[in-house]
A and B are shown apart, each in its own frame.
Chain A
Amino acid sequence: MSESASKSDKKSDECYNATAITSNAESLEFGRTCQSCAAGIAAGILGLTGFNGFILFFLSVGVQALFWNIKAQGNWLNYFPERNSFTWSIGNGLFTFVLLWVFFYGMVHVY
């Protein structure tokens, strides 16, 4: 192994298996969707209004990231090019969260 590879760029003989990355990304996406649905339903039924709803959402994002890191036994970089356990498709998650939040809030509290 040539040691001359400078530490700045990643280990020079590192390369990623494309199919593995896509399947990992899909499972992350699946996890994110389920997490945001669960958070939305909870917020809706609990009738949280305003910011505590969003607090619940980001709390569940944190818990989700925690679980993912535990599953990856801490070395996240073995599975993904960069550390994105928090920021993974959070936009999508937010929209789904808001939808379900409003939906269940409407079902329980408005009608």
Chain B
Amino acid sequence: MVCENDWTQVSFEHGRTTLKKWRECGVRRSEEVVELWEHVISRAPTSLGDEQWPVYEQVCIAAFDCTRVDLAQDCIELLQSQFPDSNRVLKLKAMQLEATEHFERALTIYDQLVETDPNNNSYRKRRVAVLLAQGKRLEAIKAINEYLKIFLNDSEAWLQLSELYLLENDIPKAVHCLEECVLISPLNSMFLRRLGDLRYTQGGLENVDLARAYYERAIKINSTDLRSQYGLLLANNFIANNSRNPAEKKKSTTAGNAALDGLVDRYQKVNSTEIPNTLEKLRLVQQPTRN
């Protein structure tokens, strides 16, 4: 998707739809959101009708990200006047405290919010975010585990947990978390490809064999995913070089070369010649099968 770089001259309608798109797919482009707001949408926010409240919330959170506390403050006041005692506005206030490094006070607000509305999991997630911001990774891991005991089918939390375990360099646990994500949504090619990456990073013939299986499935679901094509190539080459039984060696060499051809014609389609001929170096020659 071509990403325009200059958001100041964009039309009001285009700005509105972009904000809506970013809101829906959770994209984190805070600076551009703030830019869009200041140059385009702030001219006539009331014309958005009811949509202006989620836009205010989005701009407020983006302002925190870009340390624009003044803009965030205005958004919170507007939202406060519109929804006097809403938990969501309270959550924004807590996030403001977070942005200004008052972590303790933010934590107390979140604990209080969790009591009033235990079913809403976004407050618990904010609590974990505070711990992460303070750099207390171990507490964050404990908090997420606690959270997952109740809401155990939340793939976003599992993904975050696997990131944290990776930071602790504990790959087996990260693999476990990714497997949970695959369990929850088996059709998500990103989870499958990431699980393949993790298995490949673990190393060892048996793990790389699993990685290959996951890459194959990821490609089956989303054939244009360059990462899984590369992964398949690496996994097959690894097996071809390290496997002992000749049949497996032969199979993975052909599979590796097939993946390579897939990559090369992807690059030819995009007429970049420089990368394909470097990839050619990775082509495995079919050793004669020694009996």
> Binary interface profile of A, 1-38, with partner B (CB < 8 Å = 1, else 0)?
10000000000010101000000000000000000000
B187 touches A13 (CB 8 A): no
In the assembled complex, the CB of A8 is this many whole angstroms from the nearest CB of chain B, namely 22
List chain A residues, Cβ under 8 A from B187.
15, 17
In the complex the two chains form, what is the Cα distance from A15 to B187 in whole Å?
Answer: 8
> Binary interface profile of B, 173-198, with partner A (CB < 8 Å = 1, else 0)?
00000000000001100000000000
In the complex the two chains form, what is the Cα distance from A17 to B97 in whole Å?
Answer: 40
In the complex the two chains form, what is the Cα distance from A15 to B186 in whole Å?
Answer: 8
How many B residues touch A, CB cutoff 8 Å? Answer: 4
List chain B residues, Cβ under 8 A from A15.
186-187
B88 within 8 A of A: no
In the complex the two chains form, what is the Cα distance from A13 to B67 in whole Å?
Answer: 47
List chain A residues, Cβ under 8 A from B186.
15
In the complex the two chains form, what is the Cα distance from A1 to B216 in whole Å?
Answer: 8
> Binary interface profile of B, 213-228, with partner A (CB < 8 Å = 1, else 0)?
0001100000000000
In the complex the two chains form, what is the Cα distance from A17 to B184 in whole Å?
Answer: 11
In the complex the two chains form, what is the Cα distance from A63 to B123 in whole Å?
Answer: 52
Chain B residue at minimal CB-CB distance from A17: B187
In the complex the two chains form, what is the Cα distance from A102 to B184 in whole Å?
Answer: 49
In the complex the two chains form, what is the Cα distance from A3 to B213 in whole Å?
Answer: 13
In the complex the two chains form, what is the Cα distance from A17 to B217 in whole Å?
Answer: 15
Chain A residue at minimal CB-CB distance from B217: A13
Chain A residue at minimal CB-CB distance from B188: A17
> Binary interface profile of B, 99-143, with partner A (CB < 8 Å = 1, else 0)?
000000000000000000000000000000000000000000000
In the assembled complex, the CB of B69 is this many whole angstroms from the nearest CB of chain A, namely 39
In the complex the two chains form, what is the Cα distance from A17 to B188 in whole Å?
Answer: 10
In the complex the two chains form, what is the Cα distance from A1 to B251 in whole Å?
Answer: 13
Chain B residue at minimal CB-CB distance from A15: B186
In the assembled complex, the CB of A14 is this many whole angstroms from the nearest CB of chain B, namely 10
Chain B residue at minimal CB-CB distance from A1: B216
List chain B residues, Cβ under 8 A from A1.
216
List chain B residues, Cβ under 8 A from A13.
217
Chain B residue at minimal CB-CB distance from A16: B187
In the complex the two chains form, what is the Cα distance from A1 to B217 in whole Å?
Answer: 8
In the assembled complex, the CB of A19 is this many whole angstroms from the nearest CB of chain B, namely 10
In the complex the two chains form, what is the Cα distance from A13 to B213 in whole Å?
Answer: 12
List chain A residues, Cβ under 8 A from B216.
1
In the complex the two chains form, what is the Cα distance from A17 to B187 in whole Å?
Answer: 7
Residues in B139-195 with C-beta less than 8 Å from chain A: 186-187
In the complex the two chains form, what is the Cα distance from A15 to B216 in whole Å?
Answer: 16
List chain B residues, Cβ under 8 A from A17.
187
In the assembled complex, the CB of B177 is this many whole angstroms from the nearest CB of chain A, namely 21
In the assembled complex, the CB of A88 is this many whole angstroms from the nearest CB of chain B, namely 24
> Binary interface profile of B, 20-58, with partner A (CB < 8 Å = 1, else 0)?
000000000000000000000000000000000000000
Chain B residues near A (Cβ < 8 Å): 186-187, 216-217
Chain A residues near B (Cβ < 8 Å): 1, 13, 15, 17
5 contacts between A and B (CB under 8 A): A1-B216, A13-B217, A15-B186, A15-B187, A17-B187
By Cβ-Cβ distance, the 5 closest A-B pairs, closest first, are: A17-B187, A15-B186, A13-B217, A15-B187, A1-B216
